[in-house]
Amino acid sequence: MKKNTFFLTKQHLSIALIWLFHVSGILGIIYGNATWFVKATPINLLLSFFLLMLNTDLNLKSLFMVVLCFLVGMIAEILGVKYGLLFGSYSYGSTLGFKFIGVPIMMGIIWCILIFITGFIAQFFTKKLLFKILIGVGLMLFLDLVIEPVAPVMDFWTFESGVAGLNNYMGWTFVAFPLQLIYHKMKIKIKGPFPFHLFLLQFLFFTLLLIKSYTP
């Protein structure tokens, strides 16, 4: 009789680490030194990005996709911050770290993470390219809806009007649609369920913070 042997793979380790960091962040912000944990956000994002890449088949296509997402995301954000194009008039706080032309470098990485994980998840719903793209964009917008109310509280970014308007979500769609298209055309391969866990954790993280911010 063959014994079942459990091997700790990089997928297991990656998933365990993002759960540890996100749950620690949630507990730290709600019950501990909120300022310290909020300022550690870039570390959490960099770890998530590194582990995502660790579970991605890295080749010329996937590396090109990373660079493309980063550059397109940064350019779109710069146009928003400097000229109020695409997303509306807004500015970034200090939480996300070093800025280039008013936009944190971390935003380029966030665009990479979002395109990769939502594109991956979308593939499980349909085989039709257009529907994959629409689902991927929809998942990004769904996550943004949860993040936007919390963003000013965490000093991520603040809109001049106080809230993100309809043009913000239209801008997200305009930028995300071609990136989702290229992601699926490139047939980027990510191993295992890591993107599902990362998307779920992002949703839980910001939802719990949203609930806390509206709880006396």
The reply to whether the predicted model has a pTM over 0.85 is yes
Q: What is the pLDDT of residue 26?
A: 83
Per domain, the residue ranges of the chain are: 10-210
**Gap between the Cα atoms of 91 and 125, Å rounded:** 36
Q: Are 105 and 98 in contact (CB under 8 A)?
A: yes
Which one is predicted more confidently, 24 or 213? 24
Pairwise CA distance, residues 120 & 10, whole Å: 18
| Model pLDDT, residue 103 | 95
Mean confidence (pLDDT) of the chain: 89
For every residue of 107-133, DSSP letters joined together read HHHHHHHHHHHHHHHHTTT-S-HHHHH
pLDDT, one tens digit per residue, over 158-214 is: 998 888 888 999 999 999 999 999 999 999 999 889 999 999 999 998 888 888 766
Q: How far apart are CA 114 and CA 118, in angstroms?
A: 6
Place of tokens 């944190």: 104
CB 46 within 8 A of CB 52: no
pLDDT in tens, 57-85: 999 999 999 999 999 999 999 999 999 88
Position 16 scores a pLDDT of: 92
8 A C-beta contact, residue 99 and residue 108: no
